[in-house]
Chains A and B, each alone.
Chain A
Amino acid sequence: MSLASQIVTVTAINLRSIPQRMWVSLSTVVAVALVVAVLLSFLAMANGFQQTLRGSGAPDVAILLRGGAGAEINSGVSRDQLRLIEEAPGVVRTAEGKPLVSGELYVIVDAVKKASGTQANIALRGLGPEGFAIRDGFRLVEGRMYEPGAAEIIVGRSLLDEFAGFELGKQVRLGTATWTVVGVFEMGGTVFESELWADVGAVQSLFRRTNFFQSIRARMENPEAVSALNDYSQADTRLKLAVKSEQAYFADQAGGAGGFIQNLGWPLAVIMSIGALAGALNTMYSSVAARTTEIATLRAIGFGGIPAFVGTLTESLLLSVVGGTVGALLAYAFFDGLTASTFGGSFTQVVFSFQLTPELVVQGVVLALVVGLIGGLFPAIRAARVPLVAAFGEK
């Protein structure tokens, strides 16, 4: 008989004996499942966060901040600078000749999370009249638009779902003034849906920041015009604003916080894997010990040592793959689509949902396989070296 069919026979005998070691085998399955579930929950979280931020930016919208500011919250732009940008080359104009430029103010306000009842920072954005023309995918889904200059806000759908007290018609105290929620908007689940929007003039006066903006957004003729605008801005001493495409801006922020979550997930999973590995080794050594007479008997009959090796390794891989699959299913059941909010780049909450992708599941299963491979390798070597005289051993 060929080695291959010997391996098949011995492996089948091996696997069919797993129920006799049910509890210790189950402990390995559970340990691997937990490791994979934890890893995948972190990866799904990082992925969801990054997808949300990446999906938020357009390549042909320029965002202008004070040089070195990095994020809107640290930036400051004057009305004069806004006027200069309105005249800049490459800026798209409406049929009436109005430049699609929006000076915006970005204020941090408090809100209460529905899920935990805790306070968190959210963003109130004041937009210029052309702010909507610069944002693709904006849809007002309930109520109406705010009136220019009025203490009225519209709320993003994600924010409405996650935070309490922003239902249509509600009065909210933001800063020293009372604001009325007049509308609800959606914007494809992007970061903007985690914001409150109001007229920039109203925000300027009620937060006492007259003639002051934090960022300028401008719709450009094409993505190349964004970098041309940067050169233009750097060349003018009155401007010296840093220009990035909105896409690049959000990608930077996604890399920061998303990378942080991801960098937390893998080390944690690796540390947990070491625990699971110890469990797998223990399980497989006890499997070999329990099967010693069986293995030696097969060897005495004439079977080789390699089938015993392969059988043991297969048992280990099987247990860990089952564990990995259970872990992936757990992650899918409990985390996929789960909505969470966390700090975005500007110290305000960004609402996003966990996204488990097939690629991430593959990473989880690969980790499970590595645990199974290492956890089975040394016991498998022991199995291949079981002394034949053990066949005559004590019962």
Chain B
Amino acid sequence: MSNAPLIRIFKASKRFTKGKETITIFENLNLSIPQGDFVAIMGPSGSGKTTLLNLCGGIDRPTSGEVHVAGARIDSLPEGALSKWRAANVGFIFQFYNLMPMLTAAKNVELPLLLTKLGGAERRKRVETALKLVNLADRLNHLPREMSGGQMQRVAIARAMVSDPTLLLCDEPTGDLDRTTADEILKTLQLLNRELGKTIVMVTHDPEAAKYARRTLHLDKGVFTERDVAAA
């Protein structure tokens, strides 16, 4: 794990305006996550965990402040450049998998590769490698509805990994799964972090899940507190 920060959030504030009301989610928030880290983010519902993840992934912008990720200041990138940046640097893993229901596992995993210049054969090879990585080499042609929740989430992990991004952002990746299946998914994430050096930021409500991370950050009322999960 190198010490250069992959994510650096500097004095970021996020406010939502609904009519006359303004809700401040956080103000002047600072965060630094080094390359190769595996961070769990916990906190009460509504504390802004998803919002933070969106900022890190270039899906949302802060009201003020700076967001630097993987060498780019993404809060000020124009929309088109931001799309390209996301395709090259970030893989997303969602609580409800977000697979395209009418596409097979292989076609779902291939989606990010369609944004590259790779040819069909090369794409096919990478899709197979990614699915092998999550132990689904035998499910290439299965549709999401023919798979279990755990299998669908593994397809989603393969999709997030296939274009080899440095950063994986996971929002409640095990929120919809039972304990045993959740543990399998978390072990897979751990493997990606330890063996392949992926930087992972994972939002979770589950303290058991957080134990798989290298460290846990608690977000509450717009402030981070770091606690040693093992000691908690």
Contact = CB atoms under 8 A, between A and B. Distances in A.
Interface of A: 1, 5-6, 9, 13, 16-17, 20, 293-294, 297-305, 388-389, 391-392, 395
Interface stretch (B4-12, B83-91, B224-232): B83-91
B190 interface: no
B137 interface: no
Interface in B69-102: 79-80, 83-84, 86-88, 92, 94-96, 98, 100-102
Contacts of B159: 301
Interface stretch (B18-26, B107-115, B177-185, B211-219): B107-115
A1 B116 contact: yes
A302 B98 contact: no
Contacts of A388: 54, 59-60
Most buried by B among A303, A392, A395: A392
Nearest to B57: A300
A301 B59 CA distance: 10
A290 to B, nearest CB: 11
Given A1-B117, A392-B50, A300 B100 contact: no
Interface residues of B, number: 30
Contacts of B92: 297, 300-301, 391
B53 A392 contact: yes
Nearest to B88: A302
Interface in B15-68: 50, 53-54, 57, 59-60
Contacts of A17: 101-102
Nearest to A18: B102
B128 interface: no
B115 A294 contact: no
A388 B171 CA distance: 14
Most buried by B among A16, A297, A395: A297
Given A20-B102, A302-B88, 9 more contacts: A6-B114, A20-B101, A301-B86, A301-B87, A303-B115, A391-B98, A392-B50, A392-B54, A392-B59
B102 A13 contact: yes
A85 B123 CA distance: 90
Given A1-B114, A395-B96, A302 B84 contact: yes
Contacts of A5: 114
Contact of B98 (A6, A16, A297, A303): A297
Contacts of B53: 392
Contacts of A6: 114-115
A312 to B, nearest CB: 15
A389 B57 CA distance: 10
B120 to A, nearest CB: 12
Provide the main secondary structure of the chain A interface: helix
Most buried by B among A20, A293, A299, A389: A389
B94 A392 contact: yes
Contacts of B96: 293, 395
B40 to A, nearest CB: 17
Most buried by A among B79, B94, B101: B94
B1 interface: no
A317 B96 CA distance: 31
A292 to B, nearest CB: 11
Contacts of A305: 79
B98 to A, nearest CB: 4
A136 to B, nearest CB: 64
18 contacts: A1-B114, A5-B114, A9-B111, A9-B114, A13-B102, A13-B103, A16-B103, A294-B100, A300-B59, A300-B86, A302-B86, A304-B83, A305-B79, A388-B59, A388-B60, A391-B98, A392-B53, A392-B171
A9 B84 CA distance: 17
A302 B101 contact: no
B185 to A, nearest CB: 17
A6 B112 CA distance: 11
A1 B120 CA distance: 12
A301 B115 contact: yes
Contacts of B101: 17, 20
Interface in B166-180: 171
Contacts of A1: 114-117
A302 B54 contact: no
A245 B88 CA distance: 79
A105 to B, nearest CB: 74
Given A293-B98, A304-B83, A395-B96, A389 B115 contact: no
A302 B100 contact: no
Contact of A299 (B54, B83, B94): B83
Nearest to B117: A1
B57 A301 contact: no
A314 B68 CA distance: 38
A223 to B, nearest CB: 66
A13 B111 CA distance: 11
A148 B218 CA distance: 113
A389 B59 CA distance: 6
Most buried by A among B50, B60, B80, B102: B102
A304 B85 CA distance: 12
